[in-house]
Structure 1
Amino acid sequence: MKGHLLDDRDIAILTVLSREGRISKTDLAQRVNLSVTPCWQRLKRLEQAGLIRGYRADVALNKIGANVVVFVMAELDSHKAENFQAFERAMDRYEEVTGCWALGGGYDYLLQVITRDVASYQALIDDLLAARIGLKRYFTYIVTKEVKASGLPPLDALLRPKRID
């Protein structure tokens, strides 16, 4: 899609898929007011452009078994490029780290961690500290109740026609 604009139909396709990833191609086409073939072509173009990263199930972890969600504010001991790169590479090795964002401001990273229990979380932190990946300090915030976790904001409000380069 390099150099192409996202139009209202592309935005509609992305909006529907962000809420209903398992929708059939026929139903998707109807929802965005296109016939199946043009809708399919647009969908493939959006995937090839990297705008659709995948299709996932929203699993209700609390119905499967015990788990704890923890947000961690992390500070590195050095702010050299290679230290940030080493830390970021290390995050890929830990499946319990389900989200990692680099921050501007007081802390360097925000991590989302999901483990079976607090003891498992502490074992992960012990591993991170032993791995010598530059973790200087960390602050733990345990989620006590999920209030809202919709995943994405309303795409139609964010995505106005724009050029993709």
Structure 2
Amino acid sequence: MSRPLDRIDLAILRTLQTDGRIPNAELAERVGLSASPCWQRVRRLEQEGYITGYGARFDQARLGASEIVIIEVTLDRHDDDILESFGNAMARIPEVLEVYLTTGEYDYLVKVAVNGTAGYEEFLRKKLYKVPGIRHSRSSFTLRCLKQVPAYIPPAAPGG
């Protein structure tokens, strides 16, 4: 069982969120530890599942899919087979960046990267509309990303 996070754990997480490649010695200095205890804390945070992986961020425009589209999807039915089938289909489509099962008017929010309106039309015709069980979809092109962080890290608990 994991113990509650203290202020140093949270400082480690915040630092790694902005620079996942920071050398351990520099991380230790930033959070006020020596290298060995810092390394042990990072390993514990990994083992306890607070840190689930490390990755790089990419320039979507340089990769040839500069437009981000948010698609609201409503399914025909909501039985387990349709939900599982839809989830599996989304997992197989490379342009799909994120998928959220939601409450409200639509069943899912799907975040997709495409190359302009022509790329979006191709995505719709050749991929999304081929997925069985979709009753309705509504799309919005994003204009600009104002904030993008990989996770919310709550403030330290009082006395933590």
Q: Larger relative CO (CA 8 A, sep 6+): 1 or 2?
A: 1
Aligned pair in 2 of structure 1 residues 153, 48: CA closer, same or farther (>3 Å)? closer
Residue pairs, 1:64-83, within 5 angstroms: 65=64, 67-83=66-82
Q: How far has the Cα of 1:152 moved from its partner?
A: 4.0
Deviations 1:68-119 (A, max 9, x none): 1100001001011221111111111011000111101111000100012222
Which has the larger displacement, 6-15 or 120-129? 120-129
Distance across 2 between alignment mates of 1:68 and 1:3:
40
Question: Does the 8 A contact of 2:86 with 2:131 survive in 1?
Answer: no
Partner of 2:16: 17
Q: Which runs of 4+ in 1 moved over 4 A?
A: 63-66
Q: Which moved more, 1:136-145 or 1:148-157?
A: 148-157
Question: What amino acid is aligned across from residue 131 of structure 1 in structure 2?
Answer: V
1:150-165 matches, within 5 Å, as 150-152=148-150, 155-157=153-155, 160=157
Question: Which residue of 2 is the match for residue 135 of structure 1?
Answer: 134
- The runs of 5 or more residues in structure 2 that have no matched partner are none
Equivalences for 1:4-153 in 2 at 5 Å? 4-63=3-62, 65=64, 67-126=66-125, 127-132=127-132, 134-146=133-145, 148-152=146-150
Structure 1 portions without partners, runs of 5+: none
SS in 2 for 1:44: helix
Aligned in 2, Cα 1:24/1:104: closer, same or farther, shift over 3 Å?
same
Q: TM-score, normalised on structure 2?
A: 0.88
- What is the percentage of aligned positions where both structures have the same residue? 34
